[in-house]
Amino acid sequence: MTRRDGNALAAELGVAGDSIVDYRPRYNIAPTQPYFIVRLEYESRTAQAASWGLVNWWAKDARQAARFINARAEGIEVRPAFRDAFQRRRCVIPADGFFEWTGPKTARRPIWFHRGDGGLLLFAGLYEAWQKQPGNWETTFTIITTAANATMMPYHDRMPVILPEARADDWMNPLCPDAMKLKAMLAPAPDDLLRTTPVSPLLNNPRFDSPELLEETR
């Protein structure tokens, strides 16, 4: 999420200007790190701080977070870790793009998938809140994945579900009487939506987080 102005980003997302707390651009967001989600509350969009990696409300610790950074769209309505959130707690996770890696394990090269026009991507997600300590609730999220489209297929057989802006509120609506009708949204993105850019291998280390990481490399 490389937008420099948090207020402009909030306006683009349709949330209150002060709702993205302590915003700063990010170039290398890693699993289990803090980020934010967008959800619907009383028919209005709101941004909420959340950590990447779903922890169910009944969990006694966060050990499962790294396992649940993604949720496969297939069977999401029946898998215990995701079925309650699929019915009631759907969100979107905004980003400029995402990474996938190519090459041998000894020389992994990151590929940045992003829109050619620089527009935002809205990943379909689920969120939960769990108690780290009695009365201390933390929100967590997972990103839903689906089969790869033609652009993604050379790199991976899965990709995040990317929602059209026009359907985002339908996905987030907690009052939807039949969540199963929303499953049709969990499909691969159009083949022409994303561009691919090989970028810095420093992305392999989550400690690095600067604009130089997105410079094209060969």
From the list 217, 184, 187, 189, the residue with the least C-alpha distance to 202 is 217
Contact in structure between 65 and 49 (CB atoms under 8 Å): no
Of 149 and 60, more confident = 149
Residue 184 falls inside a structural domain:
yes
Query: What is the rounded average pLDDT of the residues 37-45?
Result: 94
Side chain identity, residue 106: T
Chain center to CA of 23? 16
pLDDT, tens digit, 9 for 90 and up, residues 123-136: 999 999 998 878 88
Instruction: Work out the pLDDT band at 50, boundaries 50, 70, 90.
Output: very high
Query: Cβ of 217: how many Cβ atoms within 10 Å?
Result: 12
- 191 pLDDT above the threshold of 80: yes
Residue 102 falls inside a structural domain:
yes
Residue 83 falls inside a structural domain:
yes
| 130: β partners | 138
DSSP symbols for 95-144: ESEEEEEES-GGG-EEEEEEETT---EEEEEEEEEEEEETTEEEEEEEEE
Instruction: Work out the pLDDT band at 60, boundaries 50, 70, 90.
Output: confident
DSSP label of 199: -
The domain that holds 93 is classified in CATH as 3.90.1680.10
Structural domains in the chain (count)? 1
Q: What pLDDT shows up at residue 19?
A: 83
Under 8 Å CB-to-CB from 1, ≥6 apart: which residues?
9, 25, 26, 29, 35, 94, 95, 96
**C-alpha to C-alpha distances, 5 to 8, 9, 22, 25, 44, nearest whole angstrom:** 5, 6, 11, 8, 22
Predicted TM-score (pTM) of this structure: 0.95
Residue 1 falls inside a structural domain:
no
Beta pairing class for 44-52 and 136-147: parallel
What would the two tokens of residue 85 be? 């959130």
Q: What is the extent of the structural domain holding 202?
A: 6-214
Q: Sign (positive/negative) of CA torsion 119, 201, 159, 153?
A: positive
38: helix, coil or strand?
Answer: strand
